[in-house]
Amino acid sequence: MVNFASMIQFIRKYPFSLLIIATIVFLSLFNPPQTRLDPITGIDKIAHICMYGGLELVIWIEYLRHHDNLDFIKVLLLGIITPIMLGGLMEIAQMKLTQGRSGEWADLLADSIGVLLGAAVGYFAIRTFFRKRR
């Protein structure tokens, strides 16, 4: 059974992460217009790395604002595995729920690279910044 008080508390701790997740879901499911950047090979992979890397950085910032110590199991499950799973679910959703979009393994790889890069920056840079401020 869902504890609504803890759900509200989670929303209050991670509002920007949840907003970015909602944005990623929206961007993954709508058909983007044609742009001058479309002919550039791999531009969509860079976008995937930026979206998921940005999400990971915001997760780290919000986590470190509310926790003095790292719980590596929580960080691994909620901060790394869950965003990668979101990327996989979005690829499946694109394939099954949209027209003109497809799910690609390369996009999931780009999502995973973004999450891992964001986790590395979060752990080494953002965590150091929060330590110095305390």
Residue 35 belongs to a domain: no
Percent over 70 (pLDDT), the chain: 97
Residue 64's closest CA among 116, 119, 134, 127? 127
Predicted local distance difference test score (pLDDT) of residue 8? 92
Residue 95 lies in a domain: yes
pTM, rounded to two decimals: 0.88
Residue 2 lies in a domain: no
Identify whether 4 is part of a domain.
no
Task: Assess if residue 8 is contained within a domain.
Answer: no
Within a domain: 5:
no
* In-domain check, residue 34: no
Q: Is residue 109 situated within a structural domain? A: yes
- The structural domain count of the chain equals 1
For residues 2-33, one letter each, b for 16 or more C-beta atoms within 10 angstroms of the residue's C-beta and e for the rest, the string is eeeeeeeeeeeebeebeebbeebeeebeeeee
Convert the pLDDT of each residue in 1-47 to its tens digit: 668 888 999 999 999 999 999 999 999 998 877 778 777 888 889 99
Q: Which range of residues forms the domain containing residue 104?
A: 15-25+42-133
